[in-house]
Amino acid sequence: MIERKHKSKALVPLTSMADIAFILLIFFILTSTIGIDKSIPVNLPVSETSTGGSYKFFHIWIDGKGDIYLRGERKSEDELMEFSRYRSIDNPDVKGLIGAEKNISFMKVNRVMEILRDSGVYNIVLLTKKKNG
């Protein structure tokens, strides 16, 4: 009788592949950036009712000096126009949330609202604090 040679099957080292996958996962978690909307401290006016929503939006903050902030950085009116135009093209239903210092002139808030409307953002929300009591 003829003896057959037994070939051993090649084994794939699964533990080292799992280690590599885990290291890659940690690498991507640590090196990725998360787009957190940065805000500035603004004393919002109080309102009787306040509602929340789950729509796509971006915050615009106006401080006590009338400076405009977007994502935590001070912006000019032209930069706000460019950003909001881009966002309205990307998502026509985007909401512009305006948070203004409660003692700021409404003319400044109205100017920001005009910029948003001119750039195609028609859903505008003025942020307020809910009145307690």
- The model's confidence at residue 36, banded by pLDDT at 50, 70 and 90, is low
Q: Find all residues with CB under 8 Å of 9, minimum gap 6, and list them.
A: none
Please check whether residue 122 lies inside any domain of the structure: yes
Please check whether residue 97 lies inside any domain of the structure: yes
Split into its structural domains, the chain has a count of 1
Buried b (16+ CB within 10 A) or exposed e, 24-34: eeeeeeeeeee
Domain that holds residue 76: 46-130
How confident is the model over 68-115, as pLDDT tens digits?
Answer: 999 889 999 999 999 999 988 888 889 999 999 988 888 999 999 999
Residue 100 sits in a domain of what CATH number? Answer: 3.30.420.270
Name the 3-class secondary structure at 106.
Answer: helix
